[in-house]
Structure 1
C-alpha cells in the first residue's frame, strides 16, 4: 500500500496537484498541463508518452552499442589470454635454449648461464605482469558493461513512463572506452643471440689457446 501510494505521488505535480502528462525537454523533467502555462511556457514540451518512445528508441541504440562493445572486449580478452600464453612459451623456450647453449661451454661460465636465466625470468615476469594488468582491466570493463546492459534491459521493460523518464537520463550516455593495445609479438631472440655469440667467442679463444699449446 505504501509503495503504491509513493508511486502515485511521483506521478502528481507537487505544485499544481495534477497528473504529470508532459515532458519538458528544456529542463528534462516531467510536468503537468498547468506547468506549460506557468514556468515552462517558453520551453519545448512534448507528451510523456512520446518522449518515452523516443528515449526507448535511443535506449535500444545504446544497448546495441553496449553489446557491440562487449563482443569487442571479449575478443580482445581472448587475444590477450593467447598473448600471455605465448609470452610464457617464449620465455620457457628461451630458458631451455640458453641452458642448452651453456651446457656446451666449460664450467667456469655456469654462473653466466644462471644470470641469463634470471634475466629471462625477469623479462617474462614483467611482460606477463603487464598483460595480466590488461586482463584485469578488460575483465572489469566487461563486468561493468554487462551490469549496465542488464540494467538497461530491465529499464527498457518498464511500463511506467514517468518512472522510465526519471531514470533513463543516467543511461543515455554511450559507454566510454579505454584504449588497450594487445601485442602478440614477444621474443627472447636478442638474449639467445648474445649467448650464442659469447659461446662462439669462447670457442674461438679456446681453439687459439689449443693451437698455441700445440705449436
Structure 2
C-alpha cells in the first residue's frame, strides 16, 4: 500500500479519544492482482522477503477496508508521538530482482509517484459544519438543519468554493449517492497523492462510524 496522508485531527474529530489525535491513510489497488500468485509468508522460508512479511504485526490502531473491486484501504489511528515523529520510511525492500512483482497496477510502499509534501487544515465558512450529511432534493432540509448545496441543478453560491476540496466534516460532495452511515465527523478525500477513484471521483472515511465509500466521476 502507498501512504496517502497523515493528519493531526481537531479535538472534535478525535473520535477514538485524545490518546489517538491523528490518522494515517494508505491505499492500494487489487483489482488486477492474481490471487494464486500472492506470496505466502513463512518464518521458515529461505526468501528474506517472505520471512520479513511473516514477522509483521498489525498496528493496534489499524482499520482495513476493501472495496467492491478489491482495492485495499487502511486507516491507522495514531498516538501523539507517532504523529509528531513525522514521515517514516518503509521497511527495506527485500524482494529479489524479478520476484514478487506487483501486478495489480497499483502502488506500494516502495513506489515514489508523488513527492512528500505538507498538508494543512484551514477553517472555512460552511453552513453544514457539525451536521450529518444527508441526501436532499430541491429545497429539502435535513433533520438537524443540513442544507442542500445545489439549487436548480447547480451548486449554490456558498457551495462553489467548497466543492472538490478535501475536507473534514461539513457539506459532503459525493460523486454519486450519499454513503449510508456518515456522521458529522468524516473526512472527504479528492484524488490526491496518487489516489485513483476512477477519474474525478472522491471518497468518504467516517471517523465515528468507520463508514468508508468512494465513487468514480
TM-score normalised by length of structure 1:
0.21
Task: From the two aligned structures, give the one with the greater helix fraction.
Answer: 1
Structure with higher RCO (Cα < 8 A, 6+ apart): 1
Which has the greater radius of gyration? 1
